[in-house]
């Protein structure tokens, strides 16, 4: 059937052609669609912003890394965030390059320090306060020449135990030329050298002296020779933060100003039966006296006037009703031992004064002389008893002048003497000091009459 005959494969070829065209159209459509629609919902502008942010983040990270690398060129201790830094430790700043400036900010005592000669380190001076916040700001340059700034904020520890310090001398009070500075601590001190070095003396006239420990809670400063008359003395300290004993820290500083007044020195001879009174270096009065009888001798030694009263009730001599018992009101009495020895008026022994020792240990004076001495006397005036059959006892009164100079220095925990003046004080080797030119009895006690033979060194 010719009219219905079909060429083999023609339909298949057309179908294939149509399929190919459709496929091409689909590809074209896909290509065309990619230029007009979004990918995952991100527009080109957003893509560019994201790329910019990523670049900035990378730059910031690089900057931080560079800053951290630079910061490592500066080191501050105590480190930032420390809450229990030791007050005994210095603040230190070190640099790989150079330090240009260091400042310390605090509401407590000001902190000072010094830069090393090579410009690579800075150290604070002295102790820090307890329970105090500090902010250290250091600037410098890295080896590359770039500027660096670093900050450390820290706080010192709050100790479980503290100690306080009291001074005997009163503010702007006047004392005699023999007066020691007398300090008492509320807790025993074992780190004695550090405590000594926390004190500074400023004196209106040059003074050489030394610190002396009498046990663990009492500290004296005594000049080598008597203080120069009319000297103003200021004692200052940085005890806050000092570790006086293990775990025991000073809680506050101490400062006091007082003055040394005119020079008044009394010397009494138990054998010559007279006392010499030197006022401002000149022998001004000589009075006959009667000192302790043979059974109650007035003890040798250089003492200091402690207190005075008019009158003073004196009771002693044994039990009440015994032959030696006495109970008397005594006028114009100046005390120089705790055991009860005084310079005082004794009208009842005037007949014996100048020739015989009849007292119970006091120095009996004629009433007129006793009144003069009483009016002149202030605490710390030297009183020296000589030629007695009895030596004085350490701590029976204010007895630092019982100590010869070498023994006084050996009682310092530093083993050094102190030179003081208008600019402050320094510790020095006693062997480096010039020899004393003071003469006895107006400048220093007579040699060998200190009572040192009976001194107990605590």
Which CATH number characterizes residue 333's domain? Answer: 2.40.440.10
Compute the average pLDDT of residues 200-212.
Answer: 98
Query: Is residue 38 scored above 80 in pLDDT?
Result: no
Residues 321 and 387 occupy one common structural domain: yes
Compute the average pLDDT of residues 131-144.
Answer: 94
Catalytic, 238? Answer no
**pLDDT attached to residue 59:** 64
SS3 string of the chain? Answer: CHHHCCCCCHHHHHHHHHHHHHHHHHHHHHHHHHCCCCECCECHHHHHHHHHHHHHHHHHHHHHHHHHHHHCCEEEECCCCCCCECCCCCCEEEECCEEEEEEEECCCCCCCEEECCCCCEEEECCCCCCCCEEEEEEEEECCCCCEEEEEEEEEECCCCEEECEEECCCCCCEECCCCCEEEEECCCCCCHHHHHHCEEEEECCCEEEEEEECCCCEEEEEECCCCCCCEEEEEEECCCCCEEECCEEECCCCEEEEEECCCEEEEEECCCCEEEEEECCEEEEEEECECECCCCCCCEEEEECCEEECCEEEEECCCCCCCCCEEEEECCEEECCCCCCEEEECHHHCCCCCCCCCECCCEEECHHHHHHHHHHCCCCCEEEEECCCCECCCCCCCCHHHCCHHHHHHCCCCCCEEEEECCEEEEECHHHCCCCCCCCCCCCCCCCCCCHHHCCCC
Catalytic, 362? Answer yes
Residues 398 and 281 occupy one common structural domain: yes
Q: Is 268 inside any structural domain?
A: no
Domain end (from 155, 187, 209) = 155
Return the higher-pLDDT residue of 36 and 265: 265
Residues 312 and 415 occupy one common structural domain: no
Residues 294 and 376 occupy one common structural domain: yes
Q: Is 11 inside any structural domain?
A: no
Residues 284 and 397 occupy one common structural domain: yes
**pLDDT attached to residue 3:** 45
Q: Is 33 inside any structural domain?
A: no
Domain end (from 106, 125, 155) = 155
Lowest-pLDDT choice from 48-62, 185-199, 275-289: 48-62
Residues 312 and 381 occupy one common structural domain: yes
Q: Is 458 inside any structural domain?
A: no
Q: Is 370 inside any structural domain?
A: yes
Any idea what the CATH number is for the domain that residue 252 is in?
Answer: 2.60.40.3710
**pLDDT attached to residue 289:** 98
Residues 119 and 174 occupy one common structural domain: no
Residues 373 and 420 occupy one common structural domain: no
Task: Write down the pTM of the prediction.
Answer: 0.81
Q: Is 366 inside any structural domain?
A: yes
Residues 254 and 302 occupy one common structural domain: no
Query: Is residue 281 scored above 50 in pLDDT?
Result: yes
Residues 124 and 181 occupy one common structural domain: no
Q: Which residue among the candidates 31, 218, 344, 360 is catalytic per the annotation?
A: 344
Residues 304 and 369 occupy one common structural domain: yes
Q: Is 334 inside any structural domain?
A: yes
**pLDDT attached to residue 79:** 95
Compute the average pLDDT of residues 142-165.
Answer: 94
Domain end (from 359, 385, 402) = 402
Q: Is 54 inside any structural domain?
A: no
Domain that holds residue 427: 161-262+406-432
Lowest-pLDDT choice from 106-110, 189-193, 207-211: 106-110
Q: Domains in the chain: how many in total?
A: 3
């Amino acid at each position: 059937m010719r009219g219905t005959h079909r060429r083999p494969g023609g339909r298949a070829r057309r179908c294939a052609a149509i399929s190919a065209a459709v496929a091409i159209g689909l590809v074209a459509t896909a290509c065309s669609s990619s230029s007009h629609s979004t990918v995952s919902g991100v527009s080109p502008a957003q893509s560019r912003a994201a790329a910019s942010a990523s670049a900035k983040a990378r730059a910031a990270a690089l900057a931080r890394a560079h800053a951290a690398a630079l910061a490592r060129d500066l080191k501050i201790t105590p480190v930032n965030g420390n809450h229990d830094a030791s007050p005994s430790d210095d603040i230190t700043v070190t640099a790989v390059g150079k330090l240009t400036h260091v400042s310390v900010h605090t509401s407590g005592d000001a902190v000072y320090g010094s830069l090393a000669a090579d410009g690579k380190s800075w150290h604070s001076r002295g102790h820090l306060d307890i329970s105090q916040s500090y902010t250290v700001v250091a600037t410098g340059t890295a080896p590359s020449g770039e500027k660096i700034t670093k900050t450390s904020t820290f706080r010192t520890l709050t100790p479980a135990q503290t100690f306080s310090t009291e001074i005997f001398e009163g503010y702007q009070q006047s004392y005699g030329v023999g007066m020691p500075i007398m300090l008492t601590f509320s807790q025993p001190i074992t780190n004695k050298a550090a405590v000594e070095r926390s004190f500074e003396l400023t004196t209106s006239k040059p003074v050489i002296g030394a610190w002396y420990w009498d046990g663990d809670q009492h500290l004296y400063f005594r000049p080598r020779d008597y203080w120069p008359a009319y000297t103003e003395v200021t004692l200052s300290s940085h005890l806050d933060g000092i570790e006086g004993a293990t775990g025991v820290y000073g809680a506050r500083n101490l400062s006091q100003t007082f003055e040394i007044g005119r020079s008044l020195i009394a010397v009494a001879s138990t054998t010559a039966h007279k006392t010499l009174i030197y006022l401002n270096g000149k022998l001004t009065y000589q009075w006959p006296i009667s000192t302790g009888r043979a059974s109650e001798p007035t003890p040798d030694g250089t003492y200091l006037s402690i207190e005075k009263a008019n009158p003073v009730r004196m009771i002693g001599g044994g039990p009440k009703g015994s032959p030696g018992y006495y109970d008397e009101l005594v006028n114009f009495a100046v005390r120089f031992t705790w055991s009860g020895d005084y310079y005082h008026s004794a009208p009842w022994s005037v007949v014996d004064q100048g020739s015989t020792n009849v007292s119970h240990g006091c120095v009996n004076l004629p009433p007129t002389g006793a009144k003069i001495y009483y009016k002149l006397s202030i605490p710390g005036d030297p009183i020296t008893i000589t030629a007695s059959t009895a030596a004085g006892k350490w701590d029976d009164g204010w007895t630092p002048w019982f100590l010869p100079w070498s023994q006084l220095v050996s009682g310092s925990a530093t083993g050094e003497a102190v030179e003081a003046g208008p600019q402050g004080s320094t510790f020095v080797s006693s062997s480096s000091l010039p020899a004393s030119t003071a003469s006895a009895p107006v400048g220093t006690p007579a040699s060998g009459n200190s009572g040192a033979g009976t001194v107990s060194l605590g």
